[in-house]
Amino acid sequence: MIAVAALFAVSLPDNPTFADNLQFQITGLMVVVFSLGSLALLVALVGKLFAAFGSKPSPATAPAPTTPAPGPGEAIPAPVFAAIAAAVSTALGDSRFAIRGVQTVDPRSNMSWGAEGRRAIYASRKLR
């Protein structure tokens, strides 16, 4: 397909018309779309091949946790702990965990992020 495009480029006249330019651009676009589609198909086929021959761990071979995971402590607030637990559960694809609830935090209770943002803005300005 690329060889056809190269031959087409050589066959352009010295002073191409609008139709010649348009035909050249459409041909180039078709080459790009065909190349990207071929690569996508190749990647999908390799993925199917890996999925067919790959080994999947059975649920019985997964080690059972010996101690329960620690709950939200003093160092990690409950909403942050819940968000981390949800992210880990999603990343591992494990359906044994369930987030029971998340409590919102009063924004007035912790103003340090806003204060840090204001400090950074004021530090970046020149004093007159």
SS percent in the chain: helix, strand, coil, step 5: 60, 0, 40
Q: What is the pLDDT of residues 6-50, one digit of tens each?
A: 776 677 778 888 988 898 899 999 999 999 999 999 999 999 998
pLDDT, position 73: 46
Interatomic CA distance for residues 13 and 17, integer angstroms: 9
First-to-last alpha carbon distance for the chain, in angstroms, is 65
For 69-107, the pLDDT digits (tens) are 555 545 677 777 778 877 887 888 777 766 666 666 666
Higher-confidence residue of 59 and 12: namely: 12
CB 24 within 8 A of CB 8: yes
- Indicate the pLDDT class of residue 128, thresholds 50, 70 and 90: low
CA distances from 11 to 6, 22, 27, 45, 50 (A): 9, 14, 13, 36, 44
Residue 16 and residue 24 in contact, taking contact as beta carbons nearer than 8 Å: yes
Note if the pTM is more than 0.85.
no
